[in-house]
Chain A
Amino acid sequence: MKRRLFVASSLSALGLTACGPVKDSLTNGPFRKVLLSTEKLNHGVIGTHGLAREYRDADVDRNFRVNGLDTPSDATYASLAKGGFREYRLIVDGLAERPQKLSLAELRAAGDRTQITRHDCVEGWSAIGKWRGIPLATVLAMAQPKANARYCVFHCFDIDQSGQHYYESLDLHEAAHPQTVLALDLNDKPLDDDHGAPVRLKIPTQLGYKSAKWVQRIELVANFAPIGGGSGGYWEDQGYEWYAGI
């Protein structure tokens, strides 16, 4: 009986040790295509419908948790921040009839929307913030997207340790959602450096990593494959879903 127990436990230990390579080859082998296939299905089934819940002032997290990376180390960003972002211009170009270069004052004059929404991080935590800014649709309308424009790509100031630029993208349907905003304020104050100053995207209908911080330029494109790693965003290039509604 003891011998049987010994054999059984040795076999289970062996099984568990062998599991690592098996799991790895399943994840990265030919099966990977199947793993990636669910995203289109989920996008089709869930999509972007309705409005994210909006909360009361009392629900707001005053110390809103910083998602992703903190202040960019980029030199241009540092000098803009030093000047209080007076020299900052948001560029909207690409497949646009009227490319734009907008100062913060021009942005504030273009539209005003405040929303208290929940930020759902892909890691699992949630925080509630009060965001004030301009609906993205308003800014895109100023640039007049050409008929072949399908996506807007957000190029950000942030660069990671390996030199990769942070970027994100949305299709024009998600961009037109009334709660998709370019936020300038968080909790009644201009965004601080860690939270994406001076302009960040806020899209409460998708997970937090879609809400790109430190937006420098919005490029209208027909196809995002030539940009970055080709998957439509910094995190997407690392295996996360482009459709982050789930």
Chain B
Amino acid sequence: MTSEASAETFSGGRAEVTGKRVYRHDVVARTTHWLWTLAMLVLLMSGLQIFNAAPYLDASDKSNPARRVLSFDAHKADGRPVGTTTLFGHSFTTTHLFGYTDDGMGQEDARAFPAWATLPGEQDLADGRRWHLLFAWALFVAWAAYLISAGIRGKLRDLVMRPADFAKLLPMQLYYLRLRKEPPQHGTYNPLQKLTYNVVLFVMFPLIIITGLALSPGVDSALPWLTAVLGGRQFARTWHFTLMALLLGYFATHIMLVVTTGMWNNMRSMITGWFVLGEHDGVGP
């Protein structure tokens, strides 16, 4: 039995519904959520493996050290190896973490990202690419399946940001910061959640897929305008990496909210679908 989850409003009269069980996430939403969680993890780690083969990013079409945005290097100082990370011309010593780090074979070596963060662990570009190209499909399938299913079930209406939501962003932020007692009136998702999900679902996911495709010489030949719009192949690589970093930031925020707004309740609702209404309603992850 499913309760009228979509009809809930979280502002006003909350005391009466506290403790009530609602069926919040349908089976497609739950499955695709965990599929893209897995896909993002594999894509992140295999992506870092691929990045290690050319550990620098340029804001240009062909490789051009004069347009370098980020690079990882290793050198020796007083006979000891040093790893450095250079961002926009500013160098930081990052020995043991970036630049000169764990090689997955019990030693340290010149490599940008450590073995524990890459897939496979040891330097292996060929297999890193195999993982990355398979799970890129998994991400695409999860993303498309979720949107199609949500569209058919009419759930996109609750999710898509509307002009009225923008006016509620500030009050909602104030509520999060405990500068306001009640959240603004809203539907299934609060305005900040909506904005975040809209940016992730409709901007970041498509862009990370598109910037990845723009790295492919085959796609480049078929759709030359795509790489051109992104500023060239190396620039597309830089965008792809930047989007990864932004998604990582989203992931950190998401986890923080899962943990602080009733972790077990949140986890249960994403595994079984059932969510118990309570004090954290409307401020979830």
Residues of chain A having any CB pair with chain B under 8 Å: 16, 19-20, 23-24, 27, 34-39, 41-42, 46-53, 59, 61, 65, 118, 120-128, 204-207, 235, 238-241, 244-246
Q: Does A238 contact B126, Cβ atoms closer than 8 Å?
A: yes
Confirm or deny: B62 has a beta carbon within 8 angstroms of a beta carbon on chain A. yes
Q: Which residues of chain B are within 8 angstroms of A16 by Cβ–Cβ distance?
A: 116
In-complex Cβ contact of B233 among A49, A51, A120 (8 A): A120
Contact A245 B216 (CB under 8 A): yes
Min Cβ gap A2→B in Å is 20
Known: A123-B54, A124-B53, A126-B61. A241 touches B121 (CB 8 A): no
Q: Which residues of B contact A244 (CB under 8 A)?
A: 217
A120 touches B131 (CB 8 A): no
- Residues of B109-126 at the interface with A, using a CB-CB cut-off of 8 Å, are 115-116, 119-121, 124-126
B91-147, CB < 8 A from A? 104, 115-116, 119-121, 124-127, 129-131, 133-134, 137
B220 within 8 A of A: yes
Using CB atoms, name the residue of chain A closest to B133. A38
Contact assessment for B119 and A23 in the assembled complex, using a CB-CB cutoff below 8 Å: yes
User: Residue of B at shortest CB range from A15?
Assistant: B116
A–B Cβ pairs within 8 angstroms, 28 of them: A19-B116, A20-B104, A20-B115, A20-B116, A23-B119, A34-B134, A35-B131, A36-B130, A38-B133, A42-B133, A49-B221, A53-B220, A61-B62, A118-B217, A118-B233, A120-B217, A121-B54, A122-B129, A124-B51, A126-B62, A127-B63, A204-B217, A204-B221, A205-B218, A206-B217, A240-B126, A245-B217, A245-B218
In the assembled complex, the CB of A218 is this many whole angstroms from the nearest CB of chain B, namely 22
Residue from the set B63, B124, B213 with the largest chain A CB neighbour count within 10 Å: B63
B54 engages A124 (CB within 8 Å): yes
- Of A34, A51, A235, the residue contacting B221 (CB under 8 A) is A51
Q: Are B54 and A239 in contact (CB under 8 A)?
A: no
Give the nearest-CB partner of B232 in chain A: A126
Binding site for A on B (CB under 8 A): 50-51, 53-54, 61-63, 104, 115-116, 119-121, 124-127, 129-131, 133-134, 137, 213, 215-224, 227-228, 233-234, 237
Identify 5 new A-B residue pairs, CB closer than 8 A, beyond the known A27-B120, A53-B221, A124-B54: A46-B218, A49-B218, A50-B223, A118-B217, A244-B217
CA of A19 to CA of B115, assembled, Å: 10
A24, A49, A127: the one within 8 Å of B121 (CB): A24
Nearest chain B residue, comparing its CB with the CB of A127: B62
| Chain B residues within an 8 Å CB radius of A122 | 53, 125, 129
Q: Which one, A36, A42, A61, A205, contacts B217 given CB within 8 A? A: A205
Q: Measured between C-beta atoms, what is the minimum distance from B266 to chain A in Å? A: 20
